[in-house]
């Protein structure tokens, strides 16, 4: 199943002041001796703790803890039960490069602009996609998909009066993943997390590390923090996705722009010959714009007041439009309209409404939004499965708990985050691989790595709220899983660790299919194990223990894709873990 050594470590390493834990795969029932080597020297030794059979991995395991080690440097190796781990580092700055790399990944996802290899790296340059240059049909004047209908149970046509007889300039934005689609609802959470990590850095006094010149993006040198430049690329696209004034349903936001049919791999965005369509507006997309435009207004204000004002107005207007059309749901996967794109459908969007009200309140302080967020009954706010693009309540709660505001019940909100973090820590304690991701069903969801990362963000927020290092330790132990301390012994982040994943599903980072194309750039996280094994490649793994439902193959889109919304989760955590930020 894997040729990884039986001693599973974080292949990047362990922070000097953090916990240091590994997992040993062994049939031994009694504790075994372990030794930590550097060069020819034994730096520390001790005994493992047997943990029995782990169902998520399908393996018998022990845990090895060497927390007390304070040595620093590279080339450490852990030996136990006759096996040697991959080498790793002990240092305090292990996540500083990842903070940058994971953000620069977004530049590579940009549509409508040429990608400069001087910025993304040799071999990573490509021409601008979807700018109306053949064979592209382009995004300059995209038509609405005809036949937009959705009826309520009692037969009311929710899109009554819809004409869709216009085109929009939908250029720009980020491709969501390895396909050529651009979707508002996974763009929304990605923008939120990038803005959120910047706002967190402002709170901790470390925003300088994200300032102008910090990222390899074309706007470096314009006087604006680069992470804001990157986010603006998507925000401006989201603004373009609004139904134009004067049209029925004006102010709502189109759910996505995408190809009529899936295109095969590999295919550069410039070569995509498919007709592109605007899919019908949805309440969820509209609320996503409301939330991130409100958040953006706060953060752009010191740098570009005009843009901030535009965002503030856009946020309020979108929120109002969503109140007017509260239940326009994007269709699920079973409609023809989705034949060339992902559905990103969501049956319950009260969490999106909560999120929009939260960000609008944080930006404006207006009681109207506080009343709305109090009246919102979405539950549960936190789930063991983590938050993601279609479960945003937990994210909005983290924002409400950590961004300064005059909310009278702010202490209660903060306590609820700590309570959620305590539940995650209790679950983490049951996991011999140290990851606080224990779905109630025992099955891992699509994008489990993103979900795990977002659980780490809950723990990090509890650390910020309480100052208790135990929560930071929990984040660090959880991150070990992503970098190799897992059933397969792989690092799920390209360019990090000895056995890193490199063949994430992507039409342009398709090195596995065409050696003239690159792998995904450094700092790209894979979606990770998915118990459903929904694609033809991972189907062979169906029924495996949850952690083993993964293969680093470009065809395995259900377990090994890249997305902006998983990379934003990684960037948030990497930023939190970078020097001086936690
Ligand atoms: O991330 C999405 C996941 O939560 C859904 O379960 C899955 C199936 O609908 O779709 C995932 O999103 C994919 C999208 O539909 C199309 N582009 C690639 C996305 C990541 O795999």
Q: What is the pLDDT along the chain (582 residues), one digit of tens a residue?
A: 689 999 999 999 999 999 999 999 999 999 999 999 999 999 999 999 999 999 999 999 999 999 999 999 999 999 999 999 999 999 999 999 999 999 999 999 999 999 999 999 999 999 999 999 999 999 999 999 876 677 888 888 888 888 889 999 999 999 999 999 999 999 999 999 999 999 999 999 999 999 999 999 999 999 999 999 999 999 999 999 999 999 999 999 999 999 999 999 999 999 999 999 999 999 999 999 999 999 999 999 999 999 999 999 999 999 999 999 999 998 887 666 678 999 999 999 999 999 999 999 999 999 999 999 999 999 999 999 999 999 999 999 999 999 999 999 999 999 999 999 999 999 999 999 999 999 999 999 999 999 999 999 999 999 999 999 999 999 999 999 999 999 999 999 999 999 999 999 999 999 999 999 999 999 999 999 999 999 999 999 999 999 999 999 999 999 999 999 999 999 999 999 999 888
Q: Which two tokens stand for residue 373?
A: 């967020």
Query: Cβ < 6 Å from ligand 1: which residues?
Result: 176-177, 179, 342-344, 446-447, 557, 561, 563
| Strand-by-strand arrangement of the 256-259 sheet | 167-168, 142-144, 276-278, 256-259, 182-183
**Which two tokens mark 161?**
């009066």
Is there a domain that residue 520 lies in? no
Consecutive H or E run containing 25:
strand 21-25
Q: Are 325 and 150 in contact (CB under 8 A)?
A: no
C-alpha 448/C-alpha 558 separation (Å) is 11
Residue 209 sits in the same domain as residue 323: yes
Domain boundary among 60, 94, 128: 94
Q: Give the whole-angstrom CA distance, residue 234 versus residue 241.
A: 11
Q: What is the number of domains present in the chain?
A: 2
116 with 33, same domain: the answer is no
Please check whether residues 115 and 163 belong to one and the same domain: yes
Q: Look at residue 554 and tell me if it is in a domain.
A: no
* C-alpha 89 – ligand 1 centre gap (Å): 34
Does residue 526 contact residue 504 with C-beta atoms inside 8 Å?
Answer: yes
User: Dihedral sign, CA of 318, 361, 198, 460?
Assistant: negative
* Cα(330) to centroid(ligand 1), Å: 14
The length of the chain is 582
- Tell whether 532 is covered by a domain: no
Query: Which tokens is 42 given?
Result: 């034994």
| 295 in any annotated domain | yes
Q: Which atom of ligand 1 is nearest to the CA of 534?
A: 8
Q: In this predicted structure, what is the pLDDT of residue 461?
A: 98
Our mutation pick for probing the ligand 1 site, out of 177, 190, 532, counting the most ligand atoms within 8 A of Cβ, is 177
**Cis geometry, peptide bond prior to residue 266 (ω within 30 degrees of 0):** yes
d(CA 29, CA 45): 19
Q: Which domain holds residue 190?
A: 96-490+559-577
Non-local (6+) Cβ contacts of 368 within 8 A are none
CA–CA gap between residue 209 and residue 364 (Å, rounded): 28
The catalytic position among 352, 372, 388, 561 is 561
In a domain, 537, yes or no: no
Specify whether 89 is located in the same domain as 237: no
Residue 467 has a pLDDT of 98
**What is the predicted pLDDT for the residue at 160?**
86
Task: Determine the distance from the C-alpha atom of residue 257 to the mean position of all C-alpha atoms in its chain, rounded to a whole number.
Answer: 20
Kindly give the number of the ligand 1 atom that is closest to the alpha carbon of 390: 4
Domain CATH code at residue 43: 2.60.40.10
Q: Is 66 inside a domain boundary?
A: yes
Ligand 1 centroid to residue 496 C-alpha, Å: 24
156 in helix, strand or coil? coil
Residues 433 and 351 in one domain: yes
CA torsion 400→402→403→405, rounded to 10°?
70
Residue 260 annotated among the catalytic residues of the structure: no
Structure tokens at 94: 């292990």
Q: Are both 147 and 235 inside the same structural domain? A: yes
Rounded distance between C-alpha atoms, residue 173 and residue 182, angstroms: 7
Tell me, yes or no, whether 62 and 136 share the same domain.
no
Residue nearest to atom 5 of ligand 1 (CA): 446
Q: Which residues of 379-390 are buried (b: 16+ CB within 10 A; e: fewer)?
A: eebbbbbbbbbb
CA distances from 25 to 22, 37, 352 (A): 10, 19, 42
Q: Is residue 553 part of a domain?
A: no
Helix ranges (DSSP H) in 409-563: 410-428, 448-466, 469-482
Q: How far apart are CA 336 and CA 330, in angstroms?
A: 13
Report the run of H or E that residue 401 belongs to, with start and end.
Answer: helix 393-402
Q: Which of 36, 66, 94 is the last residue of a domain?
A: 94
For residue 22, which phi and psi values (nearest 5 degrees)?
-130, 170
The CATH number covering residue 244 comes to 1.50.10.10
Q: Quote the pLDDT of residue 580.
A: 86
CA distance 233 to 227: 10
71, 94, 117: which is the final residue of a domain?
A: 94
**How distant, in Å, are the alpha carbons of 18, 174, 306, 462, 577 from that of 474?**
9, 32, 41, 10, 12
Of 330, 341, 385, 446, the residue with max ligand 1 atoms within 8 A of its CB, to mutate for a pocket test, comes to: 446
Q: Please tell me what DSSP assigns to residue 313.
A: H
Q: Are residue 262 and residue 356 in the same domain, yes or no?
A: yes
Residues 181 and 248 in one domain: yes
Buried b (16+ CB within 10 A) or exposed e, 123-160: ebebebbbbeeeebbbbbebebbeebebeeeeeeebbe
pLDDT of res. 162: 85
Report CA(447)–ligand 1 centroid distance (Å).
Answer: 8
Contact (Cβ atoms closer than 8 angstroms) between residue 51 and residue 61: yes
209 in the same domain as 163: yes
Give the angle 308-311-316 at the CA atoms, nearest 5°.
Answer: 130
Whether residue 305 sits in one domain with residue 167:
yes
| pLDDT reported for residue 152 | 81
Q: C-alpha angle with apex 26: 20 to 32, nearest 5 degrees?
A: 65
DSSP assignment letter at 351? H
In a domain, 451, yes or no: yes
31 touches 49 (CB < 8 A): yes
Q: Are residues 102 and 88 in the same domain?
A: no
Distances (CA, A) of 192 to 25, 116, 331, 539: 39, 26, 24, 33
- Ligand 1 centroid to Cα of residue 70, in Å, is 42
Cα dihedral 543, 549, 554, 560, rounded to 10, equals 130
Residue 552 is a catalytic residue? yes
Q: Which residue of the set 179, 199, 230, 552 is catalytic?
A: 552
């Amino acid at each position: 199943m894997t040729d990884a050594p039986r001693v599973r470590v974080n292949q990047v390493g362990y922070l000097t002041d953090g916990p240091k834990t590994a997992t040993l795969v062994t049939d031994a029932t009694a504790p075994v001796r372990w030794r930590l080597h550097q060069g020819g020297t034994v730096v520390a030794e001790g005994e493992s703790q047997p943990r029995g059979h782990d169902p998520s991995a399908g393996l018998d395991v022990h845990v090895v803890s060497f927390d007390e080690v304070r040595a620093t440097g590279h080339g450490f190796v852990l030996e136990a039960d006759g096996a040697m781990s991959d080498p790793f580092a002990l240092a305090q700055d292990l996540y500083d490069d990842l903070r940058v790399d994971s953000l620069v990944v977004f530049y590579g996802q940009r549509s409508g602009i040429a990608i400069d290899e001087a910025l993304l790296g040799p071999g990573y340059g490509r021409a601008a996609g979807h700018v109306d240059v053949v064979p592209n049909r382009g995004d300059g004047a995209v038509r609405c998909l005809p036949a937009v209908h959705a009826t309520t149970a009692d037969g009311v046509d929710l899109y009554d009066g819809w004409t869709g007889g216009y085109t929009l300039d939908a250029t720009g934005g980020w491709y969501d993943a390895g396909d050529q689609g651009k979707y508002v609802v996974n763009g929304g959470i990605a923008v939120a997390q990038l803005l959120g990590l910047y706002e967190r850095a402002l709170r901790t006094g470390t925003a300088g590390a994200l300032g102008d010149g910090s990222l390899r993006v074309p706007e470096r040198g314009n006087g604006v923090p680069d992470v804001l430049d990157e986010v603006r690329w998507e925000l401006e696209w989201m603004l373009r996705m609004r139904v134009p004034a004067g049209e029925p349903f004006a102010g709502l936001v189109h759910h996505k722009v995408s190809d009529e049919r899936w295109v095969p791999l590999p295919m550069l965005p410039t070569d995509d010959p498919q007709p592109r369509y605007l899919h019908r507006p949805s309440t969820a997309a509209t609320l996503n714009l409301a939330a991130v435009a409100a958040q953006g207004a706060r953060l752009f204000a010191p740098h570009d007041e005009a843009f901030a004002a535009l965002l503030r107005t856009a946020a309020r207007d979108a929120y109002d439009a969503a109140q007017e059309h509260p239940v326009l749901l994007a269709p699920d996967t079973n409609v023809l309209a989705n034949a060339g794109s992902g559905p990103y459908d969501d049956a319950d969007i009260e969490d999106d409404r909560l999120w929009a009200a939260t960000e609008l309140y944080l930006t404006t302080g207006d009681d109207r939004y506080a009343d709305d967020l109090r009246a919102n009954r979405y539950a549960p706010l936190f789930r063991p499965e983590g938050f993601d693009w279609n479960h945003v309540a937990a994210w909005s709660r983290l924002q409400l708990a950590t961004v300064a505001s005059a909310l009278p019940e702010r202490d209660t909100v903060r306590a609820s985050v700590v309570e959620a973090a305590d539940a995650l820590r209790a679950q983490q304690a049951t996991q011999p691989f140290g990851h606080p991701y224990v779905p109630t069903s025992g099955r891992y969801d699509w994008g489990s790595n993103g979900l795990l990362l977002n659980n780490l963000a809950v723990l990090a927020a509890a650390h910020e709220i309480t100052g208790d290092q135990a929560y930071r330790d929990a984040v660090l132990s959880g991150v070990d899983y992503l970098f190799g301390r897992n059933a397969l012994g792989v690092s799920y982040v390209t360019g990090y660790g000895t056995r890193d994943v490199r063949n994430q599903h992507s039409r342009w980072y398709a090195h596995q299919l065409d050696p003239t194309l690159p792998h995904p750039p450094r700092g790209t996280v894979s979606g990770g194990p998915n118990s459903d094994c929904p694609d033809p490649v991972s189907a062979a793994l169906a029924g495996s223990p949850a952690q083993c439902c993964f293969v680093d193959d470009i065809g395995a889109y259900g377990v090994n894709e890249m997305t902006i919304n998983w990379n934003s989760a990684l960037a948030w955590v990497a930023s939190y873990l970078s020097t001086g930020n936690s």
